[in-house]
Amino acid sequence: MASDPQRVTLAKVAESAGVSVATVSKVINGRPDVAQQTRDKVLELLRRYNYGGNRDDLRAYPTVELFFGFEQLSIYHTEIIQSVADAGAREGVAVVVSRRGDHDPAADPAAWARGLVAAGRRAVVTVTANTLSRPILEALDRVKLPVVLLDPEALPDGSIVSVGATNFAGGHAAATHLLSLGHRRIAYLGGTEHAWSNQARLHGFRSAMEAAGASVPGELIRHAGTFHAAEGIEHGGRLLDVSATPTAVFASSDELAAGVIEAARRCGLRVPEDLSVVGFDNTPLARMTSPPLTTIHGPVREMGAVALRTALQLAAGEKIDSHHVELATQLVVRESTRPPRD
């Protein structure tokens, strides 16, 4: 049978197996929703055709699962995908992306873990709203699949490996910047209220405000529930509707900040003439808002690379220096901030 990988296509493999191209793609990407008999047949054909190069066993090709515990992904999440994929390319590792809308590990942790192993995964990098449940962690441990939490929203215990950013320092830097411009009535718009990252950014913000002797009344603190732009419009509008309008808003994501800018426009306020806005993450969105957004740079590319390398180290049985790594954030000043009007 032909073995030139340049000539073999998924359509050819699908035709030989008597299945759809989508089914062959599912097998290659380790999707569990394929009957085992069909999976084995497709894998055997892929080996016979030598699809993808000289490999004795398709499942032995090193792959890492990048799992998102969300059904709706944000611009920030696409940056994470890019960062981990780039790191995988440098390491010679394939990265397979999945989300809760595709799989729900909590429904059957053992089956999920076994499916990952059957698909040839070497490790799991996960981005979730909460730390992984104990049954999921135990299931992964039983099949000897290491897991690394990337930018966790919930503070993991000391036994779980995680990679994040200096969120407290980022919140402190955002408030310090606005204070240095002369703002005193500064609002905070957070995402998920009890998320560890959100709380750290809020505490950093409060710390800088308190050190400057600037009060933070309760009406100027809001939590949108998510980090998406639509909630930024809604809750930004509410912040701008209080009795004494803030002169600046620190939003805990670029998407929320973009929503605040739109809310200001709807209220007849100009940014930055009437309202200064600071975001968080420094995603590509920050350069495309009008005006371009002052924001806190989150080291997403570095975080993705560290998370992937750490996962591969764990898979190889190597020791790691720390179970929790925080990479530095940095203020990036653009055109959405200026001193308040007299």
Task: Give residue 57's pLDDT.
Answer: 43
Among left, alpha and beta (phi > 0; psi -120 to 50; other), residue 58 is: alpha
Q: Residue 41: is its pLDDT beyond 90?
A: no
Question: What is the pTM assigned to this prediction?
Answer: 0.80
The reply to whether omega before 32 is within 30° of 0 (cis) is no
Q: Residue 7: is its pLDDT beyond 80?
A: no
Q: Measured on CA atoms in the order 168, 264, 332, 161, is the torsion positive or negative?
A: positive
Residue given tokens 């002052």 in the structure block = 294
Q: Are 113 and 123 in contact (CB under 8 A)?
A: no
Give the whole-angstrom CA distance, residue 78 versus residue 84: 10
Chain-centroid distance, C-alpha 121: 20
Residue 35 has which token pair? 């009957």
Task: Give residue 177's pLDDT.
Answer: 98
Q: Measured on CA atoms in the order 246, 259, 262, 223, is the torsion positive or negative?
A: negative
Residue 207 has which token pair? 């710390």
Read off the pLDDT band of 60 (50, 70, 90). Answer: very low
